[in-house]
Amino acid sequence: MNKGHLNFWLGFCYSTSMSKTFTLLTTLSLIFLSFSTYAQGLRIKKGTIIDSLEVVGDSIPETFSLYLPNKFELNKKWPLLLVFDMEGRGKDGVSKFVGAADSLGYVVAAPNSIRDSVPISENMQRTKRVVDYLLELLPVNKSRIYTAGFESAGRFANLVPVFFREIVGTVSINAAIANTELLNAKNPFHFIGVVDKTNFNYPTILRDEKVLNGLKFPNHILVGDSLSSNTTRKRLAQALSYFELLAMARGNKVKDSGYIEAFYQRDLDHIKELLDKNEFFLANRAMAETQNIFRNLRNMDSLREMKKNLKRTKGFRIQKRELETTLFKETLLREDFAYYLEEDMLTYNFNNLGWWNFQMERINKFINGSNAAERKMGHRLVGYVNALVEDNIDLVKSQKVIDEEALVLLFMLKTITAPNNFDHYLKVASIASKNEDFGTALFYLEEALKKGFNSKEQLYSIPNTALLRITPEFNALVKKYLDNARYKTTIDE
């Protein structure tokens, strides 16, 4: 780097107790810029998400979002939570953790350059550049760097510690471990999974838990019956508090008995809430996680006795047996779905769409049934089938030569597995029209219109449908469902 370049300054804006905001300019470090010939001032207000901050000093322009807790000070080290969003929406990712991060004192950052469409190796390099820059920019506690993400971003988040030893823990929300084969017992990190029992990743996360236990990875699986926005915030706060408690247990943070007791009481309140709802199996899991995290911090005898008594109750035994039964049934159904989808794609078996329709009707019966465990299984199966089809769509699209016959079959299948997503009807119509199969195109367009699709603008802008749109049949369809068409309908006798 060119040492003739000027210093880089960072100003922190904060509010005083008299509500008067002023800027404190503080030199954090001397960073030589490779592309600037002037002094650059960066002002960051505590308690506010700042978007699109640039990673200075890199030849490739990259940005990230940043949040500093209200209690942030320059004269102490802070834990860093690196949040991912696979569509590059760093600010959205950070916003989900602001409440918990502010109360517990975490710096939160999210790269804006991470994408599902980018190779993992490149995403890893982009991640490292942001982390390295933050370590130079802020007083980060290097022994307390964590990652987090929802769903696909959660899978990426739990893959990062495999490659970077600096990362000591990860929070994966509704996301299984990206690749259990890459886990190394010599490089353990703290895995916290937050999962909804209706999410299709739930059975996989339970299997991952066994793998983590076998490798002696510290881990906690926080299971919710339904992760609403409010309960998700609570579980995220619980996850970050577990990082705090483990840091105390390991000596990376000073033990605070008041802090320990406060969070222990929160866990007990959560357990009591589950017991009041007769969620005995979930309560048992919550007890196990609390016992695990606090065992080196306080006496666990009373909780251990409570857990022992719960496991003797009839309600717990019934719920445990129901879960085991439904998980076994679910495994068999998943295997069937994966097998038949592969077969259908290899043979272009459009005739099997009726079988898939029957399976979705069967799943909907689970969802609307009286058995609580099967209702949750039904929701998981819907998520699984849709994820399975979407993965295959991505696979077909990634090929140099796209197999359009397989692709249109998958889009047709999506109209069955996700009948209220009109994009897939339009994509079938587009591919069918490209191949001048106007009958198929009209059929799927009418199915969408029957189900409530009403965007005339989208209808007239579907790719490859220029010839279709001037046919009398198309315009008659538009007139029937949307009152009028752009072109006059004329059908010769």
Burial of 368 (0-12, 13-18, 19+ CB in 10 A): exposed
Q: What is the pLDDT of residue 138?
A: 94
* Number of other residues whose CB lies within 10 A of the CB of residue 184: 11
57 falls in which pLDDT band (50, 70, 90)? low
Q: What is the pLDDT of residue 61?
A: 77
Q: Is the per-residue pLDDT at 492 higher than 80?
A: no
| Rounded distance between C-alpha atoms, residue 404 and residue 36, angstroms | 48
Provide the edge-to-edge strand list for the sheet that holds 8-15. 21-26, 8-15, 40-45
pLDDT tens, position by position, 409-435? 999 999 999 999 999 999 999 999 999
Q: What is the pLDDT of residue 41?
A: 52
Q: What is the pLDDT of residue 330?
A: 97
Among candidates 437, 451, 457, 447, which has minimal Cα distance to 477?
Answer: 447
3-class DSSP assignment, residue 145: strand
Average pLDDT, the chain: 88
pLDDT tens, position by position, 440-453? 999 999 999 999 99
Q: How wide is the angle at C-alpha 291 spanned by C-alphas 286 and 296, nearest 5°?
A: 150
DSSP character string of 61-74: --EEEEE--TT--T
* CATH fold for domain 46-254: Rossmann fold (3.40.50)
- The two tokens of residue 37 are 């010939």
58 falls in which pLDDT band (50, 70, 90)? low
Question: Lowest mean pLDDT: which of 141-150, 234-243, 268-277, 480-489?
Answer: 480-489
Rg (the chain; Cα; Å): 27
DSSP character string of 410-448: HHHHHHHHSTT-THHHHHHHHHHHHTT-HHHHHHHHHHH
pLDDT tens, position by position, 31-48? 222 222 223 456 778 999
What's the whole-model pTM score?
A: 0.84
Q: What is the pLDDT of residue 59?
A: 62
357 versus 37: the higher-pLDDT residue is: 357
pLDDT tens, position by position, 156-211? 999 999 999 999 999 999 999 999 999 999 999 999 999 999 999 999 999 999 99
* Number of other residues whose CB lies within 10 A of the CB of residue 7: 12
| Rounded distance between C-alpha atoms, residue 136 and residue 132, angstroms | 7
The domains of the chain are located at: 46-254, 258-312, 316-419, 422-493
Q: What is the pLDDT of residue 117?
A: 86
The fraction of the chain above a pLDDT of 70, given in percent, is 88
Q: What is the pLDDT of residue 440?
A: 97
Q: What is the pLDDT of residue 3?
A: 29
